[in-house]
Amino acid sequence: MFKLIRESTHFTQARLAEILRVDVATVQGWESGRRPLGALRSADLVRLRMSMRRLGAPAVALAVLDLAIEADLIVFDAVEAGPTVLAADTHPLAAAVHRRTLTSLLTWPFTGTVPGVLAVPAQTARRGPVADRPLLGSEERERFFDHLQVTADASRGTANALLRRQAVYLLGFDQRPDSARWLTSELRDANRIAGHADHLSSWVAHRSSAIALAQKGHRDALHAFVARELNTDAQEIANLNYWAYWLGEIADPQVDDDFMTTVDPEQWFGARVLDHLLVRLNPGSHHADLNIHTLWALFACSANCFAGSEACPSSGR
């Protein structure tokens, strides 16, 4: 991330080091990860951001630097732990409900998709082959996903529902066959309690496993979730509230999933959700079923929930 920010300012590593009055090895270390930005003192990190802003770096990209450091921490802890279970109450995946901005940073090494906020034009020439993403070796990837799986297995139950859900979601980016089998088993477990779908922890667990399998190309799982578990007003509102939070319409950070059922949809406007879904009306998308249904629900609620009606229309459509 810092490399992209630096390139947006027109400066080479050597010239930036000269301006910042540091060794060029320091800038190289920031960009390679040998000297993690998270290891800087808070005051030094603030000064670095201020300097990069004065040099022309996009403010929106600099504002995400703290999230990139958080993503580094999550990946580092998972790779270091591997198949070892970490304490749930201090696990970085359990600290807060993730938004799209953080998730796009976490998945960047696996998808190669540069987070939209970092899609700034490079202004300096690159020499030789250059990585298009943060790099993780094959062993590091295995340890990362192994840790997610043991974390999910060790976190069954409502007490650690958020930790488990966010681990399951990230497992959708694991391309190993064993991971697909594990997620299929997870979905079967969720289906067994589908009759209790109004119970938030089981409902959101089903949603996460279905989305993770859809990410691997198994769209039937997500199609079944939409058909079976978006059938009541409460479920529709929970789904819409999750999208609103994920995309930043619900501004307050959340430490658990309860906001899906407690936030009044009249508290957010819907423009970001609408824009996000409209550009994803692609029948070939892994998540097409959920995207299309959510867009329908957003229009339905705009005429009911947001106009002061007591409830959104549910499945009698």
The DSSP code sequence of 237-286 is HHHHHHHHHHTTSS-S--SSTTHHHHS-GGGS--HHHHHHHHTT--TTST
pTM of the model: 0.88
159 located within any domain: no
Q: What is the pLDDT of residue 316?
A: 41
176 located within any domain: no
> Which tokens hold the place of 200?
């938030």
Once rounded to an integer, what is the mean pLDDT over residues 203-210?
89
Q: How far apart are CA 227 and CA 164, in angstroms?
A: 24
Confidence category of residue 312, pLDDT binned at 50, 70, 90: low
Q: What is the pLDDT of residue 294?
A: 96
User: In this model, does residue 128 exceed pLDDT 60?
Assistant: no
The DSSP secondary-structure symbol of 197 reads: T
178 located within any domain: no
Q: What is the pLDDT of residue 24?
A: 96
Residue ending a domain, choose from 14, 40, 63: 63
Q: How far apart are CA 84 and CA 71, in angstroms?
A: 19
Specify the long-range contacts of residues 80-85, CB closer than 8 Å, at least 24 apart: 80/143, 81/143, 81/147, 82/143, 82/146, 82/147, 83/143, 83/146, 83/147, 83/150, 84/147, 84/150, 85/150, 85/151, 85/154
User: In this model, does residue 307 exceed pLDDT 60?
Assistant: no
Contact 73, 127 (CB under 8 A): no
The DSSP secondary-structure symbol of 175 reads: -
Count up the domains in the chain and report the number.
2
Q: Considering the chain, what is the average pLDDT of its residues?
A: 88
Q: Choose the weakest-confidence range: 122-131, 144-153, 172-181, 202-211.
A: 122-131
133 located within any domain: no
Q: What is the pLDDT of residue 126?
A: 59
Confidence category of residue 124, pLDDT binned at 50, 70, 90: low
Residue ending a domain, choose from 43, 63, 83: 63
26 located within any domain: yes
Once rounded to an integer, what is the mean pLDDT over residues 183-204?
73
> What b/e readout covers 207-231, taking b as 16+ CB neighbours within 10 angstroms?
bbbbbbbbbbebbebbbbbbeebbe
Confidence category of residue 138, pLDDT binned at 50, 70, 90: very high
Beta-carbon neighbour count of residue 64 at 10 Å? 21
304 located within any domain: yes
Q: Choose the weakest-confidence range: 100-109, 140-149, 272-281, 306-315.
A: 306-315
Q: How far apart are CA 165 and CA 178, in angstroms?
A: 18
16: CATH: 1.10.260
Q: What is the pLDDT of residue 105?
A: 95
Q: How far apart are CA 115 and CA 1, in angstroms?
A: 9
Residue ending a domain, choose from 17, 42, 63: 63
- Which domain range does residue 34 map to? 1-63
28 located within any domain: yes
Predicted confidence (pLDDT) per residue in 33-42, tens digit: 889 898 999 9
User: In this model, does residue 253 exceed pLDDT 90?
Assistant: yes
Once rounded to an integer, what is the mean pLDDT over residues 290-303?
90
98 located within any domain: no
- How much is the CA Rg of the chain, to the nearest whole Å? 21
